[in-house]
C-alpha cells in the first residue's frame, strides 16, 4: 500500500505559500495546526516555520480546537484581524484621527502630523486591517470635532472598547465623570473599590485610545496638577477650560 505524500500536497496548497510568507492578509481566512506541538496558529505567526508534513489547515479556530489543538500563545489566533476604517481631520487642538470598527469607535487620537497619527494607530492595533475611508468615517469625525469645539453638544457615537478587564472598567468609569468636573486618580480608585491603586488607574488612563470620547483628561493629580496626559498638558487644559465654560 502506498501512502499519500502529504508534504507534497501541503506544499502545493496556496495556504502553505501564505504561511511561508507570514502573510498578514491571510489572517482570518484560515489557521494552521502543527501535529508535533499540538498548537494552531494564524498564517502570520512569527514562530519558526514547521515542517510541511506536520501541518494541517483549518477553516477556523473552532475547527482546529475540535481537532484537539490549542491556540498559540504567541500569535493569539482567536484574535482574528478586524477591518478598521479611519480618517483624519482638523480641530483647534490639532489634527484628530478617528478610527472605527463595525461595532463603534476604536480610536480617537490627537496629533500634529498625519504620518505620526497613522503610526500611532498601527502600533495600537497591530492585528487590524487599516483602511482610509474619509466618506465612511466622516460623520463620526465631524461629531468628535464638533464636541471638541463645543463640549455642551451631545456625543452619542457608539464605542468599541477593547482592553483588559481592568482597563475597560476604568474607561467606563471615566465616561461617568460629568463634563466640567474632575477627579483625582486616588478618588477614582476609591470609587472603583480599589483604594491604593492610583498608579494602576493612571496607567489605564495612559492606555486609553479614545481621547475625548473616554475623557481621561478629567482625571488630575491629587494636588490639582494636569500632568500625565497622553496628548499633552496644553490639550488637557484646553479641554477642561472649554468644559468649564460650557
CA pair distance 84, 172, nearest whole angstrom:
22
Cβ contact 69:61 at 8 Å: no
- Quick check: is 20 catalytic? no
- Give the per-residue SS3 of 172-204: HHHHCCCCCCCEEHHHHHHHCCCCCCHHHHHHH
CA pair distance 111, 93, nearest whole angstrom:
8
Q: How is residue 86 written as a grid cell?
A: 479611519
Cβ contact 58:32 at 8 Å: yes
Catalytic residue among 45, 72, 205, 216: 216
CA pair distance 13, 189, nearest whole angstrom:
54
Q: What Å distances lie between residue 104 and 75, 107, 155, CA to CA?
A: 25, 9, 13
Catalytic residues: 216
Amino acid at each position: 500500500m502506498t501512502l499519500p505524500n502529504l508534504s507534497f500536497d501541503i506544499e502545493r496548497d496556496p495556504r502553505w505559500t501564505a504561511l511561508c510568507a507570514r502573510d498578514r492578509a491571510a489572517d482570518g481566512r484560515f489557521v494552521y495546526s502543527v501535529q508535533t506541538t499540538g498548537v494552531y496558529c494564524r498564517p502570520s505567526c512569527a514562530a519558526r516555520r514547521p515542517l510541511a508534513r506536520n501541518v494541517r489547515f483549518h477553516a477556523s479556530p473552532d475547527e482546529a480546537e475540535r481537532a484537539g489543538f490549542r491556540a498559540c500563545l504567541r500569535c493569539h489566533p482567536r484574535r482574528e484581524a478586524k477591518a478598521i476604517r479611519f480618517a483624519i481631520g482638523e480641530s483647534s487642538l490639532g489634527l484628530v484621527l478617528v478610527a472605527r470598527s463595525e461595532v463603534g469607535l476604536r480610536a480617537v487620537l490627537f496629533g500634529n502630523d498625519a504620518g505620526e497619527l497613522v503610526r500611532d494607530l498601527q502600533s495600537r492595533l497591530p492585528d487590524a486591517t487599516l483602511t482610509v475611508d474619509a466618506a465612511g468615517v466622516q460623520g463620526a469625525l465631524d461629531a468628535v470635532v464638533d464636541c471638541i469645539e463645543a463640549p455642551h453638544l451631545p456625543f452619542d457615537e457608539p464605542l468599541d472598547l477593547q482592553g483588559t478587564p481592568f482597563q475597560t472598567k476604568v474607561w467606563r468609569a471615566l465616561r461617568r465623570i460629568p463634563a466640567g468636573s474632575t477627579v483625582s486618580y486616588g478618588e477614582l480608585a476609591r470609587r472603583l473599590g480599589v483604594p491604593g491603586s492610583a498608579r494602576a488607574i493612571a496607567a489605564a488612563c495612559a492606555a486609553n485610545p479614545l481621547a475625548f470620547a473616554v475623557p481621561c483628561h478629567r482625571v488630575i493629580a491629587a494636588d490639582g496638577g494636569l500632568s500625565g496626559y497622553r496628548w499633552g498638558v496644553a490639550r488637557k487644559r484646553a479641554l477642561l477650560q472649554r468644559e468649564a465654560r460650557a
